[in-house]
Structure formats: structure tokens, C-alpha cells
Amino acid sequence: MAYQLYYWNGIQGRGEFVRLALEEAGAEYVDVTRQEGIGMGTSAMFQFMESGSEAPIPFAPPFLKDGNLLISHVANILFYLGPRLGLAPTDEGLRYPANGLQLTITDFVCEVHDTHHPISTARYYEDQKAEAKARSAAFIGDRIPKYLGYFERILQQNPNGPEHIVGAELSYVDLSLFQVIEGLNYAFPTAMNGYADRYSGLAALHQRVRMRPKIAAYLSSPRRLAFNEDGIFRHYPELDLAG
């Protein structure tokens, strides 16, 4: 039975972290809102969330259905899928550090989102541009180096070598780091200029993931939506300052 992924249509968003794992594994899945079209698919997702037929009902997408099992939140979904897709460390003791790294990515992605919506998600970006510029300056100056520096350090300290962030084989965390770098390069190209010199391990990991056959095929397919200014990673030139 195919996995069912529920997420907003028209954007990569947080759902993309799950898609990358499913695509790399060659798993059969249905991207529900895209499969049924914008109207029917989104309506189906809302109906599912409001029906009360599942307990507990997800607060927000993404969420995944595997038969009768319902799983919400990116890190939680990947913690479930990882062993089933062959994208988690075979050493069970390393699966918890992997989950911890994915949760740190979750924090990072939240901070990315807050660069363009620092006051309220209920207000348009245009209504909080001054605050967004101040938030982005702090994010570029302090938070990008803190997070990327941390992941670079963990990568270089991996006892199995710096090809993967945890364990000896590709994991969903490697795929998620690829997506983070992709998104940062889109949203903050000026700030990310020269990042490969500062974080050489992450840059190499990013390129290795990009060249994996199934990922490369996915990236060149219509299933991979382009970044846009409705998603988490948004490019507003006025927010893209030199790091």
C-alpha cells in the first residue's frame, strides 16, 4: 500500500523533507493534494483534519498515513520512515542522535521562516518588512554560522568519516541537510556566497546528495516544485545581506 503524504499544494515547504526520503528510497507514495488537484486535494486534507475520525487529529501538515497509522511532524515522520526506507542508521543506538539532529534542523527551519514573518504568520510580509529586515540581519550574522558551524562540526567528528552526518551510510538527516543548503542558497545567495569555503564538509555532502541517481532524477522532474515566495525559503533581495 502506498504511503499518503498530506501537505499544502504549490510549495515545497516542510513536506519536502519527507518527499526527499521517499524519493531516495523509491517508495510508492501519493502526494495527496497534488494528486487530486489544488481544489479537491486541499479540500481532502482539510476534511481529513477536521473530520475527527483520527485520534489525535494533526494540528497541521505535513502528516503521513501508512495504512491505519497516522504520523505528524517532519522529524517524527522521518523517525518512523527511516528504518523502513533504509535511511536510518542500522545501529539503533544511533537513531536517537539522528532524530536529535533532525529536530535541530526543525528549529533551524523555523528560524528561516521567521526571517520573513517575524511578527505574525497572520500578517503579510509587506506588513512587517522593517522587522523582517532586522530579523534577517541577525539570522545571517548569528544564526546561520551557529547552525552550519554546528552541523559541520558534527559531520567532521563522525567516527565513520565525514561523508555522512551520522553513521556510515546515507540517512534522512543527510537528505534534510541537502534541502536546508538548497533553501539557504535560494533565499540568501549573497549571504551564502563562499559558504563552501567555510563549511567544506557540508558543501561536499550537499553535492553528493545532489548527484545520487534517484535524487537527481527527482530534482529534474515536475514533482520537484521550484522554490517560491509562498514557501519557507523565500528570496527577498532586501533581506539578503552579506554574511
Fold classified for 92-239: Glutathione S-transferase Yfyf (Class Pi); Chain A, domain 2 (1.20.1050)
Neighbours of 118 (CB within 10 A): 20
Residue 34 has pLDDT above 90, yes or no: no
Q: Is the pLDDT of residue 37 over 60?
A: no
Helix 95-116 with 74-85: angle, nearest 10 deg: 140
pLDDT at 127: 93
**Side-by-side strand order, sheet with 3-6:** 29-31, 3-6, 63-66, 69-72
Residue 40 in this model has a pLDDT that exceeds 60: no
Give the distance, in angstroms, between the CA of residue 98 and the centroid of all CA atoms in the same chain. Answer: 15
| Mean pLDDT, rounded, for 199-210 | 98
Is a pLDDT exceeding 90 seen at residue 111?
yes
Angle of CA points 89, 172, 163, to nearest 5° = 70
Does residue 55 surpass a pLDDT of 70?
no
Whether pLDDT at 213 is above 70:
yes
CA–chain centroid gap for 229, Å, is 16
Mean pLDDT, rounded, of the chain: 92
Look at 6-10, 35-39, 104-108, 175-179 and tell me which has the smallest mean pLDDT. Answer: 35-39
List, in order, residues 6 or more apart from 87 with CB less than 8 Å away: 21, 24, 25, 78, 81, 170, 171, 172, 175
Arithmetic mean of pLDDT, 98-115: 98
Q: How confident is residue 41, by pLDDT bands cut at 50, 70 and 90? A: low
Identify the band that residue 38 occupies on the pLDDT scale cut at 50, 70 and 90: very low
Mean per-residue pLDDT for 129-141? 96
Among 26-35, 182-191, 193-202, 220-229, which is the least confidently predicted range? 26-35
Please give the average per-residue pLDDT across 197-207, as a whole number: 97
Mean pLDDT of all residues in 127-132: 94
3-85: CATH topology: Glutaredoxin (3.40.30)
> Above 70 in pLDDT, residue 227?
yes
Residues of the chain with CATH 3.40.30.10: 3-85
